[in-house]
């Protein structure tokens, strides 16, 4: 699907459905507002899906993996081959996201958006490669061309449309890519206007020296590529990553099909900044799953005016936070649909 | 079961199981600590259940309803008959807790701990009444006698033991009782040492006049009954409530049988302060489900050194927060049990 057409297809939420959902919330057997954010979520879902009493049919996590040339700068504690090894782990069902998706009743779609190591062929693995090998090293030049970025965005759109057509009402985003907090930090710094030292996380036990080095690499990536925050596609091509591009496309495709985007943590947040830069109207389609332990994520959430549902100090990625939050989002929809009204239950209202 | 014997049966967590759980977390295919609080919960569950790889069999919410003499002081916007009407709603499956328990795969046990209105007989309803009618009006005298408080605590212990014997590994607490934030506020004020005006919530749209009145009633309840925080049973009898007593008993019985107590919000927090006052060794058996919108709940959590899992602005009670959190707690256990290790998955470790 064409990127520009998809962006044009992202419309406002359905106000009539939201008004009806709000009215139904007031009729249910509980004090007004006592289900807190669950009530807000049910109303938002009504507006997204265009249903006064929204129901969640399928839940899908689109998990994109990609490698990063900037790994050569020594910004990650793990070797680059871990990206491909983890893709196999995803396909075999042994990773955190597999467990949490099973628990949530969600399906995981694993996408090779540009893994550097060779992967054995597997019918369950979706291939969305635009290049063999990792992105360009953003500390020395652009991650990819604008054309490659558009191709990946459009692959993400196609995947989202496919899942929407299969009945997925919640589409979560997940990432895997050794060193991908570095391009994500660069995107967050550019798009939110905060300096790299405020965005880059120290991680657990990331020594001061390693932290200073990572900040320096992010700064160098920005100085080298000179991304302009008003040109989100340029930011993505300059300092982004393959899986980040694909996920930004998933978000646009999901919103264009009026489904809810369940954002995972820091990397998904960076992709959301790109999607939002390309199409600000996407904002109400976002549900932020959790607040990542990465400090730049808080800045991302503030920029996107999103309040994460969970704050559990997660920093694994893969869509793990999104899978956990899907349980809460579905619970919110079920309360609106399944609770009895005061009238039905014969319960007295406020005096 | 005898109260004193139950208190003696509450032992320390199983350190060996916790050490083994921590070691297994380090071997799983994720950066160390990257599942944040899910990792901590899995280790705590290991210690509670005494299993290096804990698994959650059944999940139960014990939902106790009771009426409060202090409702006569006009502290609630709802008439007292709503307590009994909501018990029927619980039995018919139409309340918030029914929906959220279904979603979590948890069973709800509804207990009449002292509902003032007459309830039709129903085989699913547990009767733990020690008196016909509501508690005494705490603004004028004690809520109940010490003997009644002990009887209710012991009923709660029996219910917890029954559920533990049926394989419930997570036992959540839920409450229903018009005006029960007033005795709960009194308990929180006494047990934490904070003044009533810091504890009493304004609710949504609770006008300043209504708030001042409620603060005054809580103050009067404390002045009338002169509860002593070192005598938790006296606090419960003086300014407590029937359902609060029953839930404190459920907590003690759950911990004595080495099962996890999943605390709902403000009312459950007040019951937890009583259980903790009777037996400080219960603390590590608590998992706090959510931070209630009631300001006194934050003070309760600080006093009990607990960090709630969720913060969704809930203030419904019934065990709704506990049911939501059970999904996260089970997810934590499943990650520890089901994720592949680095060795199993052939994933390289940190360089």
On whether any CB of chain B is under 8 Å from the CB of A345, the answer is yes
Higher model confidence: residue A312 or residue B351? A312
Q: What is the mean pLDDT of chain A?
A: 96
A314 touches chain B (CB under 8 A): yes
Q: Which of residues 193-222 of A touch B (CB under 8 A)?
A: 204
Q: How many CB pairs under 8 A join A and B?
A: 187
pLDDT at A96 over 70: yes
Residue B153 distance to chain A (closest CA, Å): 28
- Is B345 an 8 Å CB contact of chain A? yes
pLDDT at B203: 59
Selected catalytic residue, list A154, A294, A318, A330 = A318
With cut-offs at 50, 70 and 90, classify the pLDDT of residue B134: very high
- Picking from A32, A96, A331, the nearest residue to B324 by CB comes out as A331
State residue A206's pLDDT score: 61
Q: Is B89 on the interface with A (CB under 8 A)?
A: yes
ipTM of model: 0.96
**Which residues of chain A have a CB within 8 Å of the CB of B89?**
29, 340, 345, 347
Q: What is the pLDDT of residue A293?
A: 87
Is A161 marked active-site? no
Does B151 score more than 70 pLDDT?
Answer: yes
Cα gap A125→B264, rounded to integer Å: 42
In the stretch 121-140 of chain A, residues with CB closer than 8 A to chain B read none
Contact between chains at B78 and A35 (C-beta distance less than 8 A): no
Same fold, B3-54+336-345 and B58-329: no
Q: Which ranges in A55-129 belong to alpha helices (H)?
A: 81-92, 96-104
- B320 lies within 8 A of chain A by CB: yes
pLDDT score of A204 more than 70:
no
- Residues of B within 8 A of A312 (CB-CB) are 36-38, 309, 328
Q: Which residues of B touch A348 (CB under 8 A)?
A: 78-79, 81-82, 85
Q: Is the pLDDT of residue A299 over 70?
A: yes
Question: What H or E segment, with its residue span, contains residue B109?
Answer: strand B107-112
What is the pLDDT confidence band of residue A207, given thresholds at 50, 70 and 90? confident
| pLDDT confidence bin for B206, thresholds 50/70/90 | low
B29 touches chain A (CB under 8 A): yes
Domain boundaries, chain B: 3-54+336-345, 58-329
The rounded distance, in Å, linking the Cα atoms of A27 and B322 is 23
Q: How confident is the model at residue B242 (pLDDT cuts 50, 70, 90)?
A: very high
pLDDT over threshold 60, residue A74 = yes
**Minimal-distance CA residue of chain A relative to B325:** A328
State what percent of residues in chain A have pLDDT above 70. 99
Q: What is the pLDDT of residue B60?
A: 98
Comparing alpha-carbon positions, the chain A residue that sits nearest to B85 is A347
pLDDT at B349: 84
Q: How confident is the model at residue B202 (pLDDT cuts 50, 70, 90)?
A: confident
Q: Do B31 and A77 touch (CB under 8 A)?
A: yes
What's the pLDDT at A205?
56
**Angle formed at CA A340 by CA A335 and CA A343, multiple of 5 degrees:** 145
Q: Which of the four pLDDT bands, split at 50, 70 and 90, describes residue B201?
A: confident
* For range B227-249, the mean pLDDT: 98
Tell if the pTM clears 0.80, that is, is over it: yes
Q: Are A94 and B324 an interchain contact pair (Cβ–Cβ within 8 Å)?
A: no
Looking at the domain covering A58-329, what would its CATH class be? alpha beta
B108-137 residues labelled b (16+ CB within 10 A) or e (exposed)? bbbbbbbbbeebeeeeebbebbbbeebbbb
Q: Class for domain B3-54+336-345, per CATH?
A: mainly alpha
The string of pLDDT tens digits covering residues B52-83 is 999 999 999 999 999 999 999 999 989 999 99
pLDDT of B245 reads 98
């Amino acid at each position: 699907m064409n990127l520009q057409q998809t962006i044009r297809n992202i419309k406002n939420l359905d106000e009539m459905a939201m008004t009806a959902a709000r009215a139904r919330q007031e009729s249910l057997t509980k004090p007004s507002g006592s289900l807190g954010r669950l009530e807000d979520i049910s109303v938002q879902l009504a507006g997204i899906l265009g249903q006064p009493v929204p129901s969640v049919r399928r839940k899908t996590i689109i998990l994109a993996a990609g490698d990063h040339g900037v790994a050569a700068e020594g910004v990650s504690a793990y070797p680059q081959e871990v990206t491909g090894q983890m893709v196999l782990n995803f396909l075999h069902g042994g990773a955190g996201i597999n467990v949490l998706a099973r628990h949530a009743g969600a399906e995981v779609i694993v996408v090779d958006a540009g893994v550097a190591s060779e992967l054995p062929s597997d019918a369950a693995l979706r291939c969305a490669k635009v290049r063999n090998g990792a992105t360009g090293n953003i500390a020395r030049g652009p991650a990819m061309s604008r054309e490659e970025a558009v191709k990946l965005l459009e692959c993400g759109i196609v995947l989202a449309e496919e899942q929407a057509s299969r009945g997925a009402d919640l589409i979560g985003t997940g990432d895997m890519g050794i060193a991908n907090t570095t391009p994500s930090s660069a995107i967050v710094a550019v798009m939110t206007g905060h300096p790299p030292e405020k965005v880059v996380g120290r991680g657990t036990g990331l020594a001061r020296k390693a932290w200073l080095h990572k900040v320096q690499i992010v700064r160098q990536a920005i100085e080298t590529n000179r991304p302009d925050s008003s040109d989100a596609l340029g930011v993505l091509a300059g300092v982004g990553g393959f899986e980040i591009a694909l996920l930004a496309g998933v978000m646009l495709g999901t919103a264009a099909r009026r489904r809810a985007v369940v954002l995972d943590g820091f990397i998904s947040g960076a992709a959301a900044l790109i999607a939002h830069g390309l199409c600000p109207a996407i904002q109400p389609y976002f549900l932020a799953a959790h607040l990542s332990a990465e400090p730049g994520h808080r800045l991302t959430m503030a920029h996107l005016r999103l309040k994460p549902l969970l704050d559990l100090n997660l920093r694994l990625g893969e869509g793990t936070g999104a899978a956990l939050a899907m349980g809460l989002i579905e619970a919110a929809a079920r309360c609106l649909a399944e609770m009895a009204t005061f009238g039905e239950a014969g319960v007295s209202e406020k005096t």
